[in-house]
Chains A and B, each alone.
Chain A
């Protein structure tokens, strides 16, 4: 039975592996907030960056198959936690409005899609359908004293004509949600600067340089941790933090959360359901500090 908060959920390939904590925490948080996620049956890879760098029709076809699968569902739209999947689905949908383009895409598919479902990020749904005030009302475990650098990643809000959500230079959705859960958001100036994307394997130097800069600036602005909304960003900043430190001779020990993990923590969900143990840079000390401060306050 669907409601105004029932969505077709597109988890994305990395959610099964290297960003499994993002997928799990997203599901847990959505459940707690009353957002119903119905997995798109038998969803397939959107092609991520490699597909669109080879051919736009191929890339659109890979997305279109998933849009088609969702069209039979009784949902408000398709949502996904991954900005790369999001941009592929949205760009495919946008380009397929051109009849000639859609024809070529349909030629590659077994069945054409109608292309009439709205496509959004999970962040957009939480921010716009629920809102920071409603979220704050549900918080039982405010993350007071946690200084965060909010990092949105390069494609969540850009280009504005396609992604159509928040400001493309200074987005604030995640800032407001983090404030709603009691954290302190630092003025981080590189909110939309690219982390190195999928070059980690083939050109590791690109990631160590670009993600290294993000860590440096986050530390400079006084953040104790970074919070992200993209599996690739999180992976580059967290999993590759040792590689970055070695390449740049830095000594960062910056925890990098998924925003859903922090929302979940503030809502009182279990660490296991949020898979906090999957984070490579251990955030344990941060939560202990929050706990200590709270008991001190209570006294």
Chain B
């Protein structure tokens, strides 16, 4: 059941900084994103502009703070990073020129690799989308919906839109396979091979 209300961070136990600050995590985030998280002076401008704050469990400026303090588990387990739309409000407005959106993206990559999945529907949509691209070379919208509905069991998703959309012919029922679709499949295969090596 989806909730519109975000949950604030639950009351935290004392953080033992010497032992819980994961320096390797901080370095990894900085290396993968190319950003220096020490530049953040916690002004909150990112949170102030982020339209998704309503849905986050941890606001984006606090995620930056948690990264600064190396709190890997808290950060990678949160929902916020899965609900970030990369709308670039934060990056555009950061007074310290930090590309916050890329940091969020990188944290999402890390959460995936760590097997986290607090927003299963979001992940499933994303995976179904990419599976469709891998197969056909272009997204097959109806196929994507079918795959999503099957995997999540939410078979009534957007059913209410059907009467309006279908008569307008906006949803094709056949995929647009491209000639070079094998090339796309190969890109994914090589990516997966690299990832697993």
Contacts and interface: CB of A to CB of B under 8 A. Distances in A.
A45 B112 CA distance: 22
A107 interface: yes
Interface string A225-240: 0000000000000011
A44 B138 contact: yes
B21 to A, nearest CB: 26
Question: How many B residues are at the interface, by size bracket?
Answer: 35 or more
B138 A16 contact: yes
Interface stretch (A73-81, A189-197, A253-261, A285-293): A189-197
Contacts of B92: 158-160, 168-169
B89 A158 contact: yes
Contacts of B133: 44-45, 47, 51, 62
B187 to A, nearest CB: 5
B7 interface: no
Interface stretch (B9-17, B58-66, B67-75, B170-178): B170-178
Given A54-B126, A202-B122, A155 B2 contact: no
Interface string B158-195: 10110011001111100010111101101110110011
Given A277-B168, A280-B164, A62 B109 contact: no
Nearest to A95: B34
Contact of A209 (B54, B112, B165, B190): B54
Taking chain B's interface residues, is the majority helix, strand, or loop, or is none over half, making it mixed? helix
A134 B70 CA distance: 56
A57 B191 contact: yes
A49 B85 contact: yes
A48 B85 contact: no
Interface string A8-32: 0000011011111000000000000
Interface in B88-144: 88-89, 91-92, 99, 101, 105, 108-109, 112, 119, 121-122, 124-127, 129-130, 133, 137-139, 141
A48 B141 CA distance: 13
A25 to B, nearest CB: 14
A194 B86 CA distance: 9
A108 interface: yes
Nearest to B88: A158
A179 interface: no
B125 to A, nearest CB: 4
Contact of A205 (B2, B125, B138): B2
Chain A CB within 10 Å — which of B87, B105, B160 has the most?
Answer: B87
Nearest to A61: B187
A53 interface: yes
B25 interface: no
B137 A44 contact: yes
A110 B126 CA distance: 25
A219 interface: no
A201 interface: yes
A62 B139 CA distance: 12
A197 B87 contact: yes
**Top 5 closest pairs, chain A to chain B, by CB:** A154-B87, A194-B87, A197-B85, A158-B88, A202-B121
Interface of A: 13-14, 16-20, 42-45, 47-58, 61-62, 65, 107-110, 154-155, 158-160, 168-169, 192-194, 196-206, 209-210, 239-240, 242-243, 277-278, 280
